Structure 1
């Protein structure tokens, strides 16, 4: 009897260990991206820098609104439906020192202004203290330099002030945070500032911009579709459960 109990117990333990190593899926259905990543192991999350891929640069500075950095990395960091890496997503700051976001999270940049690799797109976020940033000559020079090589420049929220200070989008349409357009137009009269009470996102040539905060996902999704396909954008939205966000009140 004792021997039989030991055998039963061993069977239960092995069964539990086997089940815990595999994400649960419904028979006859395809695994979700999250389940597939679990199944493939942690290595799927380690994304090396691949020179042959487009590189998306996320500018950071002390006091940055972290959601505007995270939104872009959320969108461009997702793989293809075949779980292939499509982009290099890197963070950039003036130095390698950890920056502190407005919300209090510490982020360590991948690159500095001095060693940043060639970028395909540069995303410029905002912070509550843009006074300091627009007077940072090194930052403005970095934006000017990267404008010469990038195919796309995107600003979110008050990041539009850095666009204005750099002069790279003079004559182009731009939008900023709700309530900030009038002052932006006054400070940088060469910009075509849109009515932020009506316009959430605008694109003009290589430049695009949004009101920021959660609408930063709009600017990122727009560009990821432009750089890939509508099907991939829909996959990313599915991956992020954006459909659930749209329908949450239901």
Structure 2
């Protein structure tokens, strides 16, 4: 049974924020020796406010699979970051969507400043979380009830995982692979990507 994953995309999203986790989860295989004959245990889809083409930072054009109205139930929801979060963290449609989805998912994750959206949706109250290093002070000042972690690539607290900026989303996604399918599968995924697999105690705080 595949785990369904939704990645929220929006205008001015940071490309690697969503492409990093997308790559990790989509190239995962349970049996590396059968890579060409099998599919990923994660079914990854992109969801946006509308079905319009999304322009990333750098003007990559992305077509979402779903809009808010047609979005199905996911097991995992990932909220990336980028300049677009500066306005979206105050957009009631986005906040309502995230708050509704968190009732359905097993796991909620953020990359970079995506955690600011979660914080403004009051989903990080009393939660250990992190964000891009340039936004750590802002998170600390604006969201007094968030326990801001400043020295970790990703932080797990309950069913919420947040990662630091941009490339840290790859480390977080590899941890998600491990969480669901074990370290051997996660390491094989990193090796396939030719990405260094760093030890968790250097990357993570778990509460």
Alignment TM class, shorter chain as reference: 0.7 to 0.9
Partner of residue 5 from structure 2, selected from 56, 59, 69: 56
Rounded to whole Å, the distance in 2 between the matches of 1:205 and 1:98 is 34
Q: Does residue 1:122 correspond to 2:71, yes or no?
A: no
Paired residues, number: 191
Query: What secondary structure, in the 3-state scheme, does the structure 1 residue paired with 2:109 have?
Result: strand
1:63, CA displacement in angstroms? 0.3
Query: What secondary structure, in the 3-state scheme, does the structure 2 residue paired with 1:227 have?
Result: helix
Q: Does residue 1:232 correspond to 2:182, yes or no?
A: no
Structure 1 segments unaligned to the other structure (5+ residues): 1-51, 245-250
Rounded to whole Å, the distance in 2 between the matches of 1:218 and 1:79 is 14
- Following TM superposition, where does structure 1 have runs of at least 4 consecutive aligned residues deviating by more than 3 angstroms? none
Q: Does residue 1:217 correspond to 2:166, yes or no?
A: no
Rounded to whole Å, the distance in 2 between the matches of 1:225 and 1:200 is 16
C-alpha contact (below 8 Å) 2:127/2:157 kept by paired residues: yes
1:199, CA displacement in angstroms? 2.2
1:184, CA displacement in angstroms? 0.8
In structure 1, what is the equivalent of residue 203 of structure 2?
A: none
- RMSD over aligned Cα atoms: 1.4
In structure 2, what is the equivalent of residue 32 of structure 1?
A: none
Map 1:8-23; keep pairs closer than 5 Å: none
Counting helix residues as a fraction of each chain, which structure ranks higher? 1
In structure 1, what is the equivalent of residue 117 of structure 2?
A: 162
Rounded to whole Å, the distance in 2 between the matches of 1:241 and 1:199 is 22
Query: What secondary structure, in the 3-state scheme, does the structure 2 residue paired with 1:167 have?
Result: coil
C-alpha contact (below 8 Å) 2:74/2:105 kept by paired residues: yes
Map 1:137-216; keep pairs closer than 5 Å: 137-195=92-150, 198-216=151-169
C-alpha contact (below 8 Å) 2:11/2:84 kept by paired residues: no
TM-score (norm: length of structure 2): 0.88
Rounded to whole Å, the distance in 2 between the matches of 1:71 and 1:131 is 21
Which structure is richer in relative contact order (CA contacts within 8 A, separation 6 or more)? 2
C-alpha contact (below 8 Å) 2:128/2:148 kept by paired residues: yes
> Which deviates further from its counterpart, 129-138 or 151-160?
129-138
Rounded to whole Å, the distance in 1 between the matches of 2:196 and 2:145 is 38
Structure 2 segments unaligned to the other structure (5+ residues): 198-207
Q: Does residue 1:67 correspond to 2:67, yes or no?
A: no
Counting strand residues as a fraction of each chain, which structure ranks higher? 2
